[in-house]
Structure 1
Amino acid sequence: MYVVGVVALLILSLSGATAQRSSFSAKLRNDLIASPTEDKPVVFDVILNNVNGDYDDSNGRFTASIKGTYVFYFTLMSPYTSKIAHGALTKNGVDKSRVWSSGNVAHEMSGNTVILDLKIGDYVNVILKAGSNYALHTSSAADGSGYCSFSGFLLYPSYEDTRCKY
């Protein structure tokens, strides 16, 4: 029976039928003030979900361990001051999407969804853009619930095209 199980798993693996999973969701615990001269990585340090362990809460990066197409979503909130939440989602250090929220009248939130193709080792993170007037507000609640979040998941893995090309 054991041999039959191993053979079945081998067949499933070779056919690509095994489920490859990767997902994460994290939120920001504390407010963040931008550097006036350099973009600052936003480290979402409260992990809600981290299937496959691809999100690193020490540096705020999601690093792909599976080649495929991924969906990412991030939300940022401006402080209730004259500060602005100006952030970007980056792939390997290159901006792919930005958000902007002004806090002049009240807290404002911005969010964006991005679909990206990633190779193994590609990384995605959120940055607070450089500027003396930029900052993020989260929540001062004791439970750590926050308004700024970063989430992503593998939509589907990529396989080499094995179709006949005659």
Structure 2
Amino acid sequence: MAIPNTKSQILYKFEEENRGFVRKMKNLEREILRLQEEMVLLTKENQMNGKAVTFSATAADGKVTQRITKGGEIIILKRVLNNVGGGYDSETGIFTAPVAGNYAFYFSVEVPRQKILNIFLYVNDNYVAEAVAVGNVEFVDIGSNMAILLLQKNDRVCIKSNPGNAQILDIQYYGNSFSGFLLSPK
């Protein structure tokens, strides 16, 4: 026959079970904190490693890569120097933002003697900035510009010839370039 527990024995057993429960809770809380810290580190690592975006493209020196025959044509630069993140398409001349964030873009145009060309930077078919090169009788000329833009994922960026300029001009010099990089992901 079992002897009934006294109140103090019941209280002692309850306190012992409670201490065990508290230890388990503290261990779980520590594990949750550890997992949260690991998640923060992984998120930072993914932002630094997984979201690197840079590209740079130019025309091939001396070889005609495109002939501008009308205004508003996308300048397609085929010689890709780098394309980390895969955002630049050398077949279309369009950069598509793989992630949202702040981007820096640099673009330039080089023209032969006695030629003029304006190029415009566009985001989703909206004019943003322009550069102009005016070659004189003796020298070629390079015009350039830079813009820092907040883009959403899949925004499209390109450079186009001046919509009001119907001049025929070959794109063939290294001075024709289009580059960009992600400054900070959103």
TM-score scaled by structure 2? 0.69
1:102, 1:21 → 2: CA distance?
Answer: 36
Gaps of 5+ in 2: 1-34
Secondary structure at the residue paired with 2:41? helix
Name the larger-Rg structure. 2
Q: Is the 8 A contact 1:73 1:151 kept in 2?
A: yes
Deviations 1:111-146 (CA, angstroms, capped at 9, x unpaired)? 10100000011010111123233635533xxxxxx2
Unaligned runs of 5+ in 1: 1-6, 140-145, 159-166
Look up the match of 1:34.
68
Q: Which one-letter code corresponds to 2:78 in the other structure? A: D
Find the counterpart in structure 1 of residue 15 from structure 2. none
Asked whether the 8 Å contact 2:120–2:129 carries over to 1, the reply is: yes
In the TM superposition, structure 1's runs of 4+ consecutive aligned residues that sit over 6 Å from their partners are none
- Report the number of matched residues: 143
Residue identity matched to 2:172: T
CA shift in 2, pair 1:31/1:86, >3 Å = farther
For the Cα contact (< 8 Å) 1:76–1:136, is it kept in 2? no
Higher helix fraction: Structure 1 or Structure 2? 2
Aligned to 1:4: none
**TM norm structure 1:** 0.77
SS at match of 1:40: coil
1:23 aligns with 2:59: no
Alignment of 1:1-166 (within 5 A): 10-14=39-43, 16-18=44-46, 19=48, 20-29=51-60, 30=64, 32-36=66-70, 38-81=71-114, 83-105=115-137, 106-130=139-163, 131-133=165-167, 135=169, 137-139=171-173, 146-158=174-186
